[in-house]
Amino acid sequence: MMKNLSGHIFPNRGTKELMSKLITTKTISRTLVSLFLVGVFVIRAQAVPNVVVIIADDQTWSDAGCYGSEIVKTPNIDSLASAGLRFDRAFTATAMCAPTRQQLYTGLFPVKSGAFPNHSKVKVGTKSLVHYYQDAGYSVGLCGKRHFGPPQSFPFETVSKGKLESFITQKDPFFLVYASNSPHLPWEDGDASAYDPDTFELPPYLHDNKETRAALQKYYAEITDFDRELGELDELISDAGKADDTIFIYTSEQGAQFPFGKWTCYEVGLHVGLVIRWPGKIKAGSSSDAMVQYVDVLPTLLQLCDLDIPKDLDGHSFAAVIEGRADQHNDYVFGVHTTRGIILGTQSYPVRSVRDTRFKLIRNLNHESEFSNVLIKGNGSSYWGSWVRDSTTDINAERLVNRYVNRPAIELYDLDQDPYELQNLAGLPEYRKISRRLDARLKQWMAEQGDHGHKTEMTVKPHATMQ
């Protein structure tokens, strides 16, 4: 190295050659780094999945072919399950429409969010999936039933059925919730003639008479009509060339509007159907016994989309189950029901439940009162009156009517041996330890949620038409 007159260093020829090589090497390295970063960006951009969630309305989880039904015709749901992952132990925490949908959208349990009565709203300031996905650059739309509030907590873009195709074919990644009104009462859609009520095999929690069979006939027809909607939506996704880039989810919402289903904490009410398809990411035709809840769905989707999961959510991601890295998730799942705010509901009849993989405990916190709702006293069914009529001469009808209306303080069921919860084990000495363990876990969860049972229920205003 040499110095000029000013004292600055300048290189000789050999040094120049060396520096030239270094500069060239650095330039190449920078170029490679830039290309790498561009490649990563492209790969990441291509890997951002769309999300579609299609929700039935009051469909009992087992009323689909992929879940074992030999009666209900659901070819599109079944096809989805054959191409994806079927969850056999998925649950909502509240078997009522608005609370169920809002826990799915927020990742929060009903009492904590404020949305635990029917037709309820979350607390002001509560965020939902709309905020998280919009912040990530997604278009977030809703087609169909809303049933939530306040609007600022769920600022969905409204997508009419006529605009579904344009929403799906857009350049931006999208999150679409398709919320059907089927098979919610009144059961008027679909082809009821496709079902012969005389051939039905009824589950033991339903009283078998012509009125119940006629109701089931219409209900099954609406499930098949919902299945048609699912198939048409799936076809739109496929025709747009988006199937491989879309996480497609079907769920049944909650149990149907029959006794021991909707408006209860029984398995028929809280257990839900849940199927997830993601081509190339999820093993086709697989199933899982992992216990998951609706509050777990949002954090799971956020993780699958490589987005941050807020720390204040109640739910926890089960992405490890989806990816085949785990086969279990929750040790316990929980349930909440309140009749306060329900049309023609009992003034206060708080019900809370907890279950593990085998046993279920239910606490009826105001069991001294009779249970009542619109199914019993209003126009919420076309068959309840026939059950009451038959109960005067039919011992099974009498047993079911009494069981639905008059409940003990504690119910305990062995779900392996008694999936329809017909034999209450509470009070039997051999189950005392199990009952205490479940009860302790339930009380712990209620405390975590700020749930004081009857006191919490009485903070809800009674429904205007309540008797």
> Can you count the helices (H) and strands (E) in the chain?
15, 15
Task: Kindly indicate the confidence band of residue 437, based on its pLDDT and cuts at 50, 70 and 90.
Answer: very high
Q: Residue 5: how many CB atoms within 10 A of its CB?
A: 5
For residue 79, the model assigns a pLDDT of 98
Alpha-carbon distance of 291 to 134, in angstroms, equals: 29
pLDDT at 369 over 80: yes
For residue 382, the model assigns a pLDDT of 86
pLDDT at 101 over 60: yes
Alpha-carbon distance of 267 to 101, in angstroms, equals: 18
Per residue in 334-367, pLDDT (tens digit) is 999 999 878 788 889 999 999 999 999 999 999 9
- Percentage of the chain lying above the pLDDT 70 cut: 89
Q: Give the mean pLDDT of 30-36.
A: 44
pLDDT at 18 over 70: no
Region at 280 (left for phi over 0; alpha for psi -120 to 50; beta for the rest) = left
Tokens of 427: 């009070």
For residue 118, the model assigns a pLDDT of 86
Nearest to 262 by CA among 178, 330, 185: 185
For residue 340, the model assigns a pLDDT of 86
pLDDT at 85 over 60: yes
Q: Give the mean pLDDT of 80-85.
A: 98
Q: Give the mean pLDDT of 110-130.
A: 94
pLDDT at 14 over 70: no
pLDDT at 467 over 80: no
Region at 239 (left for phi over 0; alpha for psi -120 to 50; beta for the rest) = alpha
Q: Which residues are catalytic?
A: 97
Task: Kindly indicate the confidence band of residue 84, based on its pLDDT and cuts at 50, 70 and 90.
Answer: very high
Prediction pTM value: 0.89
Task: Kindly indicate the confidence band of residue 5, based on its pLDDT and cuts at 50, 70 and 90.
Answer: very low
Q: Which helix (H) or strand (E) holds 211?
A: helix 210-239
Per residue in 261-319, pLDDT (tens digit) is 999 999 999 999 999 999 999 999 999 999 999 999 999 999 999 999 999 999 999 99
SS3 track for 402-440: HHHHCCCCEEEEECCCCCCCCCCCCCCHHHHHHHHHHHH
Q: Give the mean pLDDT of 363-387.
A: 90
Tokens of 211: 């009125």
Terminal Cα-to-Cα distance of the chain (whole angstroms): 100
For residue 464, the model assigns a pLDDT of 54
| Of 30-39, 128-137, 236-245, 361-370, the least confident | 30-39
Is-contact 365 340, C-beta < 8 A? no
| 48-73: burial string, b at 16+ Cβ within 10 Å, e else | ebbbbbbbbbbbbbbbbbbbebeebb
pLDDT at 22 over 80: no
pLDDT at 30 over 70: no
Q: Give the mean pLDDT of 438-458.
A: 95
Is-contact 76 228, C-beta < 8 A? yes
pLDDT at 113 over 70: yes
More confident residue, 464 or 412: 412
For residue 159, the model assigns a pLDDT of 98
Mean pLDDT rounded to a whole number for the chain: 90
Tokens of 221: 């027809």
Classified as helix, coil or strand, 46 is helix
Per residue in 161-218, pLDDT (tens digit) is 999 999 999 999 999 999 999 999 999 999 999 999 999 999 999 999 999 999 999 9
Alpha-carbon distance of 374 to 85, in angstroms, equals: 36
CB neighbours of 39 closer than 8 A, spacing ≥ 6?
Answer: none
pLDDT at 260 over 80: yes
For residue 427, the model assigns a pLDDT of 94
pLDDT at 158 over 80: yes
Q: Which helix (H) or strand (E) holds 210?
A: helix 210-239
Size (the chain), residues: 467
CA 390-265-128 angle, 5° bins: 135
Alpha-carbon distance of 310 to 377, in angstroms, equals: 43
Segments of 315-460 assigned E as strands: 333-337, 351-355, 359-364, 410-414
CB neighbours of 187 closer than 8 A, spacing ≥ 6?
Answer: 215, 218, 219, 221, 222
Task: Kindly indicate the confidence band of residue 47, based on its pLDDT and cuts at 50, 70 and 90.
Answer: low
Q: Residue 465: how many CB atoms within 10 A of its CB?
A: 11
